Amino acid sequence: MFSPSIQKLIELFSKFPTIGHRSASRFVFYLIETPQEKIEELIKSISVLKEKIKVCPLCFSSFEPEREEKICGFCADESRDKSVVCLVEKEVDLEAIEKTKQYKGLYFILGKKEIMEQRVEILIERIKKNEPKIKEIILALNSTAGGENTSLWLQRKFKILTCNIVQLGRGLPVNGELEYADEETLSAALEGRK
């Protein structure tokens, strides 16, 4: 049994995505060997994160305002196509799609299950009001069972809308997570969407 301080930190790290008890323990022992100034730097970076990072009220992606910007760079960018919105589960998926340089529309982060429903309602209301006028919704979800279920659920939700609903699943590896798909595969999936 580890000491209470070690145990406490292992518990905290174990809550991180994809981090199990073993990795969490490795982090803690790594930190024990890390010089104090590096620890201070880490603590400072974590504590300013919540202060500096804002969540975009339109697409729910996080961004760091340089001045007093209220919305993120994607939503504010006049050169992007405001008639198409790409729905992703999380921000790393947005990054993966953005890297392909194939997509120039808007994004929308669905987030975890608990918040997804509420966010989708907000999006539907906005599309109904034609703000902006969305013609196409791209469902860019993982081609895993969980992703497929979400896609089906979203398609049912969007039935009341007149816009075109397309799925990005084509060409993505079966049981693949979008964030791990290579750029070429993602580019092909974006081009071949139906």
Complex with Zn ion: residue 26 or 52, whichever CB lies closer: 52
Min separation Cβ 70 and Zn ion, Å: 10
Query: Given the complex with Zn ion, which of 22 and 67 has the nearer CB atom?
Result: 67
Residue (72 or 120) nearer to Zn ion, CB:
72
Taking the least distance from each CB to Zn ion, the nearer of 77 and 117 is 77
In contact, 110 and 89? CB cutoff 8 Å? yes
DSSP β-bridge partners for residue 87: 108, 139
Q: Which is nearer to Zn ion, 33 or 78 (CB)?
A: 78
Tell me how crowded residue 17 is: count the other CB atoms within 10 A of its CB: 6
Q: Distance (Å, rounded) from C-alpha 183 to C-alpha 180?
A: 9
Farthest-apart Cα atoms in the chain, separation = 59
- Residue 4 is which amino acid? P
Q: Report the DSSP beta bridge partners of residue 85.
A: 106, 137
Q: Kindly state the smallest distance separating residue 108's Cβ from Zn ion, in Å.
A: 8
Q: Least distance from C-beta 123 to Zn ion, angstroms? A: 12
Q: Which tokens hold the place of 109?
A: 């982060």
**Structure tokens that stand for 75 in this block:** 């939503």
- What dihedral angle (degrees, nearest 10) is formed by the CA atoms of 68, 73, 74, 75? 20
Residue 170 CB, nearest approach to Zn ion (Å): 26
Q: How far is the CB of 17 from Zn ion (least distance, A)?
A: 22
Cβ pair 79, 98 in contact under 8 A: no
Q: Which residues bind Zn ion (CB under 5 A)?
A: 56, 58-59, 72, 75
